[in-house]
Amino acid sequence: MNPTRRQFLTGSAIIAAGGLSTLGLPAFAAAEDVTKALADFVGDSETKTGKLTLKTPEIAENGNTVPISVSVESDMTEESYVESVMVLAEDNPLPNVITFNFTPASGKAEASTRMRLAKTQNVIAVAKMSDGTVYTDTKNIKVTIGGCGG
Amino acid sequence: MSKPRIKVPKKAAAGDIISIKTLVTHQMESGQRKDKEGNVIPRKILNKFACEFNGNPVFSADIDAAISSNPFLQFSARVAESGTFKFTWTDDDGSVIEAEKTIEVS
C-alpha cells in the first residue's frame, strides 16, 4: 500500500516533533551508570550466559509500551532457586527498568511486563541464583518512536 | 484509586503452577517529561509490587521509571492449598493499592 500524502505529512510532523522534544532532556544513561547498576546487583560474581532468556520484540513501534519477558531455567526448590532478575536499558535516561524478586513459591522463574524505551538500544537482563551464580542475556530492540520525555 | 484488574484461576490442583496477571491504572509519571513551560513534571510512579499467598511472599518487583503507564505484570505461583493471594502496589507518595483473590485448591 502506498502511503497517501496526508499520512506522509502526519508522519513527518511526528518525526519533527520527536526531534524537537529531545532537546533539553537530561543526558542519556552513561555507560558507567549501567556498569554501576550491574556491579551493585551482581557484586564480584562472574556472569555466564545460558539458562536465562530475555524475550523482546525485534522492533518496537511504540517505545512507550514494549512487552518484555524473562524466564530462567530452575526447579525453584528451597535449595536452588532464582532470587532475582534485574532488567536494564542501556540508552534510557535512567538505565534501571525493573527487578523481579522470586521465591520458591513462585514455582517458575518467569515474569512479563511492559517497559518504556527512549530509542533503539540493548536491553540487558541479569539473573541471580540462590547459590550466587549470575546469568545474563542481552537483546537489541529497534524503536520507531521513543517513549521517554516529550 | 481505580480497582486493579487481576487474573487468578478460580481452581487448581495441589502443586500446580498457576499464572497470574495484574494490571493497575496509574499514570507512572517518569520524572523525565516537561510541561509546556519547560518545568520538569515530578516523578510519581508505583515503585514496589508484592504478592503474598496466605501470608508468605510469592513474588515481588522493584519498579523503576522505565515501566509503562498502567503497569502490567505477569508471574507464576505454586499452590499447595486453598487460600488468598494478596497484592500490593506502593506509590512514590506512600499510598498503597491493595487487592485480594482467593483460589480453591483440591
> Could you state, in order of their start, the residue ranges of all structural domains in chain A?
27-143
Provide the pairing of β-strand B11-12 with A59-62: unpaired
**Which residue among A25, A102, A113 places its CB closest to the CB of B73?**
A113
Of A5-14, A86-95, B79-88, the one with minimum mean pLDDT is A5-14
Mean of pLDDT values over A106-134: 94
Could you tell me what percent of chain B has a pLDDT over 90? 88
Interface of B with A in 10-69 (CB under 8 A): 17-18, 30, 32-34, 38, 53, 56-69
Tell me the pLDDT band of A31, cut-offs 50, 70 and 90: confident
Chain B residue nearest residue A27, CA to CA: B32
Quote the CA–CA distance of B69 and B24 in Å, as a whole number: 9
Residue A14 reports pLDDT greater than 80 = no
CB A141: neighbour CB atoms within 10 A?
20
Q: What is the distance of C-alpha A110 from the center of its chain? A: 15
The confidence score (pLDDT) of residue B24 equals 95
Contacts of B61 in chain A (CB under 8 A): 98-101, 111, 113
CA nearest neighbour of B51 among B13, B26, B22: B22
Pick from B60, B72, B78: CB nearest A114 = B72
Neighbours of A10 (CB within 10 A): 12
Average of per-residue pLDDT across B59-83: 95
User: Which whole number is the average pLDDT over A17-46?
Assistant: 69
Q: What is the mean pLDDT of residues A116-122?
A: 93
Q: Are B76 and B106 in contact (CB under 8 A)?
A: no
Kindly state the average pLDDT of the residues A123-128: 95
Statement: residue A149 has pLDDT above 70: no
A147 contacts on B by Cβ (under 8 Å): 68
Q: How confident is the model at residue A21 (pLDDT cuts 50, 70, 90)?
A: very low
* Per-residue model confidence as pLDDT tens digits over B44-60: 999 999 999 999 999 99
Q: Using CA atoms in the order A110, A116, A121, A126, what is the torsion angle rounded to 10 degrees?
A: -30
Taking only the tens place, the pLDDT of each residue in B60-70 is 999 999 999 99
pLDDT tier at B10, thresholds 50, 70, 90: very high
Evaluate if pTM is beyond 0.80.
yes
Report which DSSP code applies to A105. G
The pLDDT score that the predictor gives to residue A81 is: 95
Predicted pLDDT at A23: 42
Q: State mean pLDDT over B68-74.
A: 95
Cβ contact, residue pair A111, B75, below 8 Å: yes
Structurally, what CATH architecture does the domain formed by A27-143 represent? Sandwich (2.60)
> Which string of b and e fits B74-95 if b means at least 16 CB within 10 Å?
bbbbbbeeebebbbbbbebeee
Q: What pLDDT was estimated at residue B71?
A: 95
Are the beta carbons of A93 and A37 closer than 8 angstroms?
A: no
pLDDT band at B7 (very low <50, low <70, confident <90, very high): very high
